[in-house]
Structure 1
Amino acid sequence: MNVFVDNDVILDILLERKDFAYSSKVVEHIEKGEVKGFTSPIIFTNTFYLISKAKNNSKAWLALRKLRLLFKVTRINENIIDRALASVFRDFEDAIQYYSALDSKAKYLVTRNKSDYIGEEVVVLTPQELLVIIEKN
């Protein structure tokens, strides 16, 4: 099962945010190889910036190396940018993430902010909703 993981889910874990248990369990399934995790290059730049501000550069680099071991990195190309520009998404970054997930053949996009995503080609779920699906399989 291919799952695109949004930045908020990753940051829940790395910044040890309140109520990050569901996000952590999603990543555990990726670590065990039960789910194939994808994320975009944008996640890496956002994560570096936010972790270096919240902690320090050294911890940010370490976080990126761990992410790279866990996740396949999707591509962002002209087609994805063009689709994002032509979309009805309110936020350009969210549009890029969505079409990058679609391009990588992700069945699910997991995020805490479902309302940020519009579209029917990739199923958008919260971490908790994804865990229910994983446990059924």
Structure 2
Amino acid sequence: MIRILIDTNIVIDLLSKRDEFYTEAAELFTQADKKKIELTISSLTFANTNYILSKLKSAKEAKEILRKFKVLVEVLSLDDKITELALSDESFPDFEDGLQYYSAIENDIDIIITRNKKDFKNSKLPVLSAKEYLATK
């Protein structure tokens, strides 16, 4: 089964129901729910999503949303090696993007899906938008 790392922006699109991006995000997660694809997120995404949702909702509501969401994804750990790779790689000037990328590399991910493809221009993995990925299915 294809393993996909979902970038934080796609998760936020889904959980905060961002109008222009929600449909594609929802379709990705529907495919995961139907076991057609395996979606992963970094633990950084999980933490950042909680932070953003807590600004939009109560802390309790944010945790409940994440509890339900977690059944659709595998949360990938950040470890010393991933952190060191992200810190050392000059081709990823944004540290968080480096963490996402090396989480994908170290966990044998096939594709990264993001709305900010330019942030991953040096990726050795395919990087697609949700819309691009869904067009291939």
Give the fraction of aligned pairs with identical amino acids, expressed as a percent. Answer: 31
Q: Does 87-96 or 118-127 show the bigger shift?
A: 118-127
Which of structure 1's runs of 4+ aligned residues deviate more than 4 A? none
Q: Which runs of 5+ in 1 are unaligned?
A: none
Structure 2 matches for 1:11-22, cutoff 5 A?
Answer: 11-19=12-20, 20-22=22-24
d(CA) in 2 for partners of 1:113 and 1:122?
Answer: 14
Shift of the alpha carbon at 1:8? 0.6
AA at the equivalent of 2:124: E
Aligned to 1:118: 121
Shift of the alpha carbon at 1:18? 1.7
Shift of the alpha carbon at 1:81? 1.0
Aligned to 2:67: 65
Q: Which runs of 5+ in 2 are unaligned?
A: none
d(CA) in 2 for partners of 1:36 and 1:124?
Answer: 16
Aligned match for 2:131, one of 128, 131, 135? 128
Aligned to 1:89: 92
Shift of the alpha carbon at 1:122? 1.6
SS, match of residue 77 in structure 2: coil
How large is the RMSD of aligned CA atoms in angstroms?
1.1
Output the TM-score relative to the length of structure 1. 0.92
d(CA) in 2 for partners of 1:121 and 1:44?
Answer: 24
d(CA) in 1 for partners of 2:81 and 2:46?
Answer: 21
AA at the equivalent of 1:92: F
Aligned length: 134
AA at the equivalent of 1:29: Q
AA at the equivalent of 1:43: T
d(CA) in 1 for partners of 2:66 and 2:117?
Answer: 24
